[in-house]
Amino acid sequence: MSEIISRSLVHIQTSKALGMLHRIGKHELFGPDYRLVCTWAEESRLTQEEVLVRLLSNKGTILIDGRFEAIYIDEFSKLGISGLPAN
């Protein structure tokens, strides 16, 4: 029974974390999308806002209601990232 309760609490905490909005400049992003921008900012040595501005300047990148629907990265973004983070 204790294990079931623990799993339920973890699920609830995870759901709340996924539902939290984080502000970057004038945009709000949900947890996973926010962490993606933060990771890329750290890797590219840019601010979080600069990474988001560069991503959104590409017509192929789509951000809807705090979530990326599509991300397009081209050579002109100059993000200097090596790929998608594992988590």
**Which burial class, exposed, middle or buried, applies to 52 when counting CB atoms under 10 A from its CB (0-12, 13-18, 19+)?**
buried
Sign of torsion over alpha carbons 13, 33, 39, 26: negative
Q: What pLDDT digit, counting tens, does each position of 24-51 carry? A: 999 999 998 999 999 989 988 999 999 9
pLDDT band at 58 (very low <50, low <70, confident <90, very high): confident
pLDDT at 57 over 70: yes
What global pTM score does this model have?
Answer: 0.71
- Give the pLDDT confidence score for residue 13 in this predicted structure: 52
pLDDT at 8 over 70: no
Alpha-carbon span 47 to 59, nearest angstrom: 21
